[in-house]
């Protein structure tokens, strides 16, 4: 029995796909082992959004060969689709598979025999037009369920459409089936994941279903306690979705909505499909119906043409906005995108300074959000990570709660009252022994 191991870089989507490729290997009789257990095969799932994707890939290949010098090294993922030739030249790499090929990996490579030169199986991205169902499993208390892939937008900084192809989705029937399978395995929380999740519903180039319809059907899956939506574009976060989540017991009061810039000039250059006023309106709608809803924001600083005034517009916009945390990214050039050709390049120093300012703002926002929740009662779903005798769980509205480790609590939901923030910035809580809400 050949031994295989996996390494994932990047986003939740990659985690769900690695997990699915792992199950394909296991179904075909391979043994899944740890990275250091001298595997015969390594599968490294790469990301193109990560800075220094090339460097990271080389480092992991080197690391793998240290543990298992004769192992067969396979590279898949977004970076493999974008740069198959370059990756095939990394010393130690035996095979590179593109987006259309990665799920056929076991069939394509069959014997996993090393050849003189690395094999490259990467079709043009236009051929990655089928949807492959994926979910992560066995790695975490929650599961990332891929419902959509690819993107038809053309944001001027983004390389994802080139790495993942056009927007396409699973059918609602299939997603509900997957959710039931996941529930049967005992997982209580599902995070709906996609490249442009809110664009769910395109099959074979035609819109046949909508994200709102998906949410309504998933809400009926009884054994899943919690659904979260990983990230949704503001222009796709319609009032009907917000209203549905507000009355649902299963969809959590938590949204992650990319803003990218609070300056309309920059949003236009970024080719985003909304202006800041729409974003502010979405936040107001959410807070109107769910005052304690957690709202996370993605923001890019130092985009070409972003003046100090534009940045301060973003800063002030976010400062005034009732959001709970920020994910801040200093702009980073990507090949084959429009942005690097635009005038007004911002120095690395300024990109980093602006990012630092927003990260400090994020800490302030998060603290304020946590403090608003002190004294309130929530259900906390505890996870299996333990550090220094402390375990953590999450409230419905994504407040991270610390508790003394108790193995019985793992994957259990407890009703608690939030009491205070500890020195590590984690919320402390006391159990209220109230019956957890039944869904």
**Is the Cβ of residue 119 or residue 298 nearer to ligand SF4 in the bound state?**
298
Buried b (16+ CB within 10 A) or exposed e, 334-359: beebbbeeeeebbeeebbeebbebbe
- Residue 234 is given by DSSP the state G
**Could you tell me which of 336, 337, 275, 326 has the C-alpha nearest to residue 303?**
337
Region near ligand SF4 per CB under 6 A, out of 106-114, 127-135, 154-162, 300-308: 154-162
Q: What is the rounded distance in angstroms from the CA atom of residue 394 to the CA atom of residue 231?
A: 18
**Is the Cβ of residue 80 or residue 300 nearer to ligand SF4 in the bound state?**
300
**Contacting residue, 7, 112, 153, 405, with ligand SF4 by CB under 6 A:** 153
Query: Beta-carbon neighbour count of residue 419 at 10 Å?
Result: 13
Name the minimum Å distance from CB 391 to ligand SF4: 34
Q: Is 52 exposed, middle or buried (0-12, 13-18, 19+ CB in 10 A)?
A: exposed
Task: Give the angle subtended at the CA of 282 by the CAs of 278 and 283, to the nearest 5°.
Answer: 120
- Residue 101 is given by DSSP the state T
Name the minimum Å distance from CB 14 to ligand SF4: 14
Assess 196 for contact with ligand SF4 (CB under 6 A): yes
Assess 161 for contact with ligand SF4 (CB under 6 A): yes
Region near ligand SF4 per CB under 6 A, out of 71-79, 86-94, 148-156, 313-321: 148-156
Name the minimum Å distance from CB 298 to ligand SF4: 9
The DSSP code sequence of 338-356 is SGGGSS-PPPHHHHHHHHH
Assess 195 for contact with ligand SF4 (CB under 6 A): yes
Assess 160 for contact with ligand SF4 (CB under 6 A): yes
Which residues between 233 and 272 bind ligand SF4 (CB under 6 A)? Answer: 233
Name the CA radius of gyration of the chain, rounded. Answer: 22
Q: How distant, in Å, are the alpha carbons of 2, 7, 90, 333, 429 from that of 38?
A: 11, 14, 20, 37, 43
**Pattern 200-239, ligand SF4, x by CB under 6 A:** ---------------------------------x------
Query: Beta-carbon neighbour count of residue 126 at 10 Å?
Result: 9
Assess 128 for contact with ligand SF4 (CB under 6 A): no
Residues binding ligand SF4: number (CB under 6 A) = 9
Name the minimum Å distance from CB 337 to ligand SF4: 9
Assess 315 for contact with ligand SF4 (CB under 6 A): no
**Residue ranges that bind ligand SF4, judged by CB under 6 A:** 151, 153, 155, 158, 160-161, 195-196, 233
């Amino acid at each position: 029995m050949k031994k295989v191991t996996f390494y994932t870089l990047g986003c939740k989507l990659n985690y769900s796909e690695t997990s699915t490729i792992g199950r394909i290997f296991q179904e075909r009789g391979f043994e899944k082992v740890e990275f250091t257990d001298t595997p015969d095969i390594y599968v490294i799932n790469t990301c193109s959004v990560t800075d220094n994707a090339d460097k990271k890939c080389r480092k992991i290949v080197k690391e793998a060969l240290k543990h298992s010098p004769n192992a067969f090294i396979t590279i898949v993922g977004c970076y493999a689709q974008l740069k198959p030739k370059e990756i095939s030249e990394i010393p130690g790499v035996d095979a590179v598979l593109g987006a259309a090929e990665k799920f056929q990996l076991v069939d394509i490579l069959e014997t996993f025999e090393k050849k003189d030169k690395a094999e490259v199986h990467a079709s043009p991205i236009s051929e990655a037009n089928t949807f492959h169902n994926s979910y992560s499993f066995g790695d975490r208390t929650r599961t990332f369920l891929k419902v959509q892939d690819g993107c038809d937008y053309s944001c001027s900084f983004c390389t994802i459409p080139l790495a993942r192809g056009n927007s396409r989705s699973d059918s609602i029937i299939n997603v509900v089936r997957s959710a039931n399978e996941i529930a049967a395995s005992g997982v209580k929380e599902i995070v709906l994941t996609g490249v442009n999740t809110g664009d769910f519903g395109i099959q074979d180039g035609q819109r046949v279903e909508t994200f709102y319809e998906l949410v309504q059907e998933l809400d009926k899956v009884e054994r899943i306690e919690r659904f979260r939506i990983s990230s949704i574009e503001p222009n796709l976060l319609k009032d009907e979705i917000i209203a549905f989540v507000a009355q649902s017991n299963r969809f959590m009061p938590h949204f992650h909505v990319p803003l990218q810039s609070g300056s309309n000039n920059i949003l236009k250059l970024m080719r985003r499909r909304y202006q800041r006023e729409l974003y502010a309106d979405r936040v107001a709608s959410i807070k109107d119906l769910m005052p304690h809803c957690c709202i996370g924001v993605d923001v890019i600083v130092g985009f070409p043409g972003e003046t100090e005034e534009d940045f301060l517009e973003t800063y002030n916009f976010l400062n005034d906005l009732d959001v709970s945390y920020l994910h801040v990214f200093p702009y980073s050039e990507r090949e084959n995108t429009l942005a690097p050709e635009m005038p007004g390049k911002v120095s690395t120093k300024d990109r980093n300074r602006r990012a630092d300012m927003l990260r400090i703002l994020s800490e302030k926002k998060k603290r304020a959000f946590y403090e608003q929740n002190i004294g309130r009662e929530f259900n906390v779903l505890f996870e299996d990570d333990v550090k220094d005798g402390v375990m953590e769980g999450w409230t419905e509205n994504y407040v991270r709660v610390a508790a003394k480790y108790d193995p019985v609590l793992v994957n259990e939901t407890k009703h608690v009252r939030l009491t205070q923030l500890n020195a590590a910035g984690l919320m402390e809580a006391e159990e209220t022994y109230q019956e957890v809400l039944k869904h």
